[in-house]
């Protein structure tokens, strides 16, 4: 009986922690994005285009290497993340697309600043920033 109570307690604490983590992250990514695959090829040309788009739209906050240390990073209230981390890289392409293209709070919406194709190319590029 003690073992069952202990397992239930551990389960409840684990669920609370996961809920807190989701709340702390603050992103409510719609289900359709979570399973989206990147429709663009990760070719050498597309990675170069993605890098160029990243430099134009992302580098000022997220930094050259995606460490969240760009010149405008101090102006941002939210966590800029570390694009090289395993935690960041384990997100699906669709989640990264949603977060970078649709945005939220300090992360601007890019729907009028770049095409969806361009946003997917940026997703390919940030995949190259892993440790």
Rounded-to-5 percentages of helix, strand, coil across the chain:
55, 0, 40
Residue 17 included in any domain: no
Encoded tokens for 122? 């940026």
Residue 15 included in any domain: no
Residue 79 included in any domain: yes
**What's the CATH number where 123 sits?**
1.10.760.10
Q: At what angle do helices 44-57 and 116-127 cross, to 10 degrees?
A: 100
Instruction: Report the domain count for the chain.
Output: 1
Residue 4 included in any domain: no
Domain residue limits at 111: 29-127
Q: What is the pLDDT along the chain (131 residues), one digit of tens a residue?
A: 666 554 555 545 444 444 334 334 689 999 999 999 999 999 999 999 999 999 999 999 999 999 999 999 999 988 899 999 999 999 999 999 999 999 999 999 999 999 999 999 999 999 999 86
């Amino acid at each position: 009986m003690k073992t069952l109570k202990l397992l239930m307690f551990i389960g409840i604490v684990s669920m609370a922690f996961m809920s807190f983590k989701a709340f702390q992250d603050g992103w409510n990514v719609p289900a359709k994005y979570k399973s989206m695959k990147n429709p663009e090829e990760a070719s050498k040309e597309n990675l170069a285009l993605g890098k160029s788009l990243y430099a134009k739209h992302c580098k000022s906050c997220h930094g050259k290497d995606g460490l969240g240390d760009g010149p405008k990073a101090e102006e941002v209230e939210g966590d800029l993340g570390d694009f090289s981390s395993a935690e960041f890289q384990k997100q699906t392409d669709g989640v990264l697309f949603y977060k970078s293209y649709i945005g939220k709070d300090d992360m601007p919406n890019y729907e009028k600043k770049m095409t969806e194709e361009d946003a997917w190319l940026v997703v390919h590029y940030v995949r190259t920033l892993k440790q």
